[in-house]
Structure 1
């Protein structure tokens, strides 16, 4: 109780002394013992100075005696804020507010420290309720002033990379932050607030970058990202050149700015991603992240990358968009051929070497190559994935193309001869085109072997189908005339044979527009069919030569076969094993001596071992059916059986008579 009274008494005594000092300071009263006006040490201004220093010293000592200190005396001597800098009496609240408004931050801060000390003292001497209300108001003012100062400091940091940047103001801010960290006051946690201000400043910088809408500019995103990269580069350059020397090293200024750019850029790019719908914009976004933004950041800070889930999200969206685009592009290729070629009955283009061609294969190859080239620069895995998809999607394209082609070109068959020729040209054109597509796709075989193999199979099936359609049409066109062979009319006139050769010649000219290997296969198919159908007429027993007509028939057969041989030789048929057949048959039919026929059987059966006894009998029937029951014919057939028995295995590629029904 006695100790408490003494303590209270001491406090009141100290307060009284401070009040006296403040009063004397206000009116310039001298506290020294030297009263001589003429004393060298007793001048007015010198004494006034002494009063101020002494009063301030006493006030500080008394104040310090009432507050527990967190620093020892040695630390107090090394503090950035010297005790002499803190005003012994704070200026008014409006004056402090003016200091903040006029950017005199240091004055404002020191006066706020003084005001804070004053409030601490008043809390200790609180005596009545009225004083408590005044104290609360002062505390509110103090809090609001500190908040106002903090906002001002944040604004300065926030705008420190802008052209209006004021170096002296930022230096004041840095000093205040350092002082607060060494002697925490009302502005605790300012290092984090500083980082927040840096982030806000970066956000302001990126928001100012021009951003057109897709309607305003088709290249809106690419342009914006270019400006964005330049803004980041300029911002970081300014940090290096103008801000680094203002801050102490422990602020890690450049690293902080890079980190903030990274975070804000990521936020910004996520916002942009929501507006992206086209593949070119997905590509621009990924390209910016991988090659521009990320690389720029890495130049300054060796390891900063976008979050992988964000990049994966862009890649997945890009991949999906490309798949949809490719499907649409393939459908457009069909639509263009339909509208610009088939419906318009446009004649196909020719290459410099005379082959019919379309742009279908080139359009597809260019599209896939563009995807591969663009994606390889960003992500090789994404590149391989989209190439695989494109190759797989061509499977459906071949089916769709064939369906649409047949649907929109069939009308040409019911028109005139020119339309029919155009119909044939179209088939040859796409046989060439898809074979070229298969060849061009070989470059992807190493990485997409399964897809390329499937594409080869699909192309072969499609071109075989187109080729077979041509063959079937040729067969239907020529068959009625071939059916007229080996008849009485045939023996008298060449009318039907002339129609046959005329159609072969027409197709021969068209085949010159078809590329190998399809052309070779087609020519061989035509040659084989004509030879088979011509010979098969002998097997149908439609006519039998009488009264030595066999020699006339043999001569005609030989002549026509020779003409067919010449036509197919000129076309480039590789079925040269068919050429001797006409001569063998002509020799048998025209042989004057029946007994000598046995000698002609050996070359026929040796070269065409699949000829049957029934077919041999049909040839003899055509020669002269009146002698079939004679002994000579019996010997001939026996000889035929012996030769057949001694003949070796039939080569699969030499089957001929087997196909004659």
Structure 2
């Protein structure tokens, strides 16, 4: 027996079929089945907008009886009896307008309490309607009629002051809110993918709920209720509020990305709001989340800040890895394409590129902001790296390993700059600032390498053009040895830094070698004069041969030839003026 039927009969509120059953024999079985089939087909159709209000009893039952009807969800009967009580109140109110008795006030209070109970019951049913069994959803039809009737009687004495339709919408909102809040959410400590899992379940819940609205709930209301549209609108609002509540817990970069991707892409996609199963109704609805003002902007800013923090941590790990893998154990640097190379430049570029490409999938404007954040954080990396490198490795001077490290980082930072210059068009300011920092670092590293070479050959250059020099090749052999080491260093230095390096040191050797002729003036006569000239030509030929064999560009060779021409001219002038 349907819930509340026995109570209805006890109050003698029968239905048409009850009357027929009392007055004549029931229909044949086949007709009964046909009638049931017709009723089933009627349920599938949308509820008509127009309706006929059941007959209002002349005398209302007691307040307790009406309250009981509401409690057992015999809502249609409860409502017409409540209307009877309301009409009775209105009549008494008109008769006693000048003299408002205690009895009238009591009846007004009873009406208010009963209406509140009815609305609360309706709100509960509507709130839970998307979770009720299909059979219980038949309650929604009388609920819709009650709301229509109360909206029509709005403003009449004895009713509730606020809108029943708005109360219905609020109940829909509460039901949606409960649904969303009941979506499973793991603790961050329990599941590293807690947010991605939750958002996936949330999207699934939204689609399933709206499918149910489209299939079952929509047909329980007249078209004027715009049921599907109302549920979609409430989901926009509730989900926006839910994400706002989640946001403080979202602190990791991957989770921030997942949240932004869900908001910007997935929510409006065919996975959720544009799901084919929701067509054609969803095409008439807005599919955009209802987010609080500036929430999305704040979320993007938070994401960009986290990108910078993440990049800073990665760069610190790069330095730590260099220490662990090379500096700590004085390990030789690696080679790539015959050049000394530290792989961190590729690691950094891969991370930056991956982050930027992924952000481009979210939103073009966010891609630009993230690019700016990444390269902006890179600006401080050269100085930070140099500080740690010198702190851990300065003691290696003047060992060959020190020079190899210098060359390695000249090559690696030059490669890193080349990678980042690909973002010149999108972030010119940040790229220019990073370029300046890298160039200054490379200049300092190269200067350190040049200073070491100059310091290495200084004692041997100082003893050139002396009496010992004429009789011994020891100092020149040391000079040649260091120049050969220089040649080896240049072989593993990437252009154009190798050419610049060779050019500077070639100039220095030429200048210092000739400088000795200008500093020292001692007498050598006869064949000693010839021996000195021959030795100068022989040594210069060896030095020239060493520098020519280094990897240099053609225009630098021409520059070197110019240097040699100038200084050879000086040689001959000095040789003619000196007394040997």
Q: Does 1:550 align with 2:529?
A: yes
Cα contact 1:356–1:432 (8 A) shared by 2: yes
1:467 aligned residue (446, 453, 457): 446
Cα contact 1:80–1:179 (8 A) shared by 2: no
Q: Which residue of 2 aligns with 1:217?
A: 191
SS at match of 2:314: helix
Q: Does 1:478 align with 2:478?
A: no
Q: Which residue of 2 aligns with 1:345?
A: 330
Q: Does 1:177 align with 2:162?
A: no
SS at match of 1:211: coil
Q: Which residue of 2 aligns with 1:49?
A: none
CA distance in 1: counterparts of 2:561 and 2:205, whole angstroms: 84
Which shows bigger deviation, 101-110 or 542-551?
542-551
CA distance in 2: counterparts of 1:169 and 1:619, whole angstroms: 119
User: Structure 2 length normalisation: TM-score?
Assistant: 0.80
Cα contact 1:424–1:470 (8 A) shared by 2: yes
Offset, 1:436: 0.4
CA distance in 1: counterparts of 2:219 and 2:322, whole angstroms: 68
Offset, 1:173: 0.9
Q: Does 1:276 align with 2:241?
A: no
Cα contact 1:539–1:619 (8 A) shared by 2: no
Alignment of 1:300-315 (within 5 A): 300=283, 301-302=285-286, 304-305=288-289, 306-315=291-300
Q: Which residue of 2 aligns with 1:635?
A: none
Alignment of 1:586-601 (within 5 A): none
SS at match of 1:571: coil
CA distance in 2: counterparts of 1:294 and 1:311, whole angstroms: 15
With a CA cutoff of 8 Å and minimum separation of 6, indicate the structure with the bigger relative contact order.
Answer: 2
Alignment of 1:379-394 (within 5 A): 379-394=363-378
Q: Which residue of 1 aligns with 2:60?
A: 90
Offset, 1:610: 10
Q: Which residue of 2 aligns with 1:355?
A: 339
Cα contact 2:183–2:202 (8 A) shared by 1: yes
SS at match of 2:499: helix
Call closer, same or farther: CA 1:536–1:196 in 2, change over 3 Å: same
Q: Does 1:397 align with 2:381?
A: yes
Offset, 1:250: 1.4
CA distance in 2: counterparts of 1:512 and 1:544, whole angstroms: 42
Q: Does 1:324 align with 2:309?
A: yes
Q: Which residue of 1 aligns with 2:540?
A: 561
CA distance in 2: counterparts of 1:408 and 1:163, whole angstroms: 70
1:493 aligned residue (461, 472, 475): 472
CA distance in 1: counterparts of 2:455 and 2:288, whole angstroms: 72
Cα contact 1:565–1:579 (8 A) shared by 2: no
CA distance in 2: counterparts of 1:581 and 1:545, whole angstroms: 30
Q: Which residue of 1 aligns with 2:416?
A: 437
Alignment of 1:196-207 (within 5 A): 196-207=170-181
Alignment of 1:86-235 (within 5 A): 86-120=56-90, 136-164=105-133, 166-184=136-154, 186-187=159-160, 189-235=163-209
Which shows bigger deviation, 196-205 or 157-166?
157-166
Q: CA RMSD in A?
A: 3.1
CA deviations on 1:488-510 (whole Å, 9 max, x unpaired) are: 22222221121122222223223
2:53 aligned residue (81, 89, 95): 81
CA distance in 1: counterparts of 2:518 and 2:562, whole angstroms: 14
Q: Which residue of 2 aligns with 1:333?
A: 318
SS at match of 1:499: helix
Offset, 1:456: 2.8
Q: Which residue of 2 aligns with 1:15?
A: none
Which structure is larger by alpha-carbon Rg, 1 or 2? 1
CA deviations on 1:581-616 (whole Å, 9 max, x unpaired) are: 99xxxxxxxxxxxxxxxxxxxxx9xx428966xx76
Cα contact 1:96–1:112 (8 A) shared by 2: yes
- Equivalent pairs counted in the alignment come to 515
Offset, 1:229: 1.9
Offset, 1:138: 4.8
Q: Which residue of 2 aligns with 1:450?
A: 429
CA distance in 1: counterparts of 2:56 and 2:401, whole angstroms: 101
Offset, 1:169: 1.0
CA distance in 2: counterparts of 1:383 and 1:210, whole angstroms: 32
SS at match of 1:274: helix
CA distance in 2: counterparts of 1:347 and 1:560, whole angstroms: 33
CA distance in 2: counterparts of 1:260 and 1:97, whole angstroms: 31
Offset, 1:355: 1.7
User: Structure 1 length normalisation: TM-score?
Assistant: 0.71
CA distance in 1: counterparts of 2:407 and 2:359, whole angstroms: 35
Call closer, same or farther: CA 1:576–1:174 in 2, change over 3 Å: closer
Q: Does 1:252 align with 2:222?
A: no
Consecutive unaligned residues of structure 2, counting only runs of 5 or more, are: 1-11, 13-21, 24-49, 275-281
CA distance in 1: counterparts of 2:346 and 2:561, whole angstroms: 44
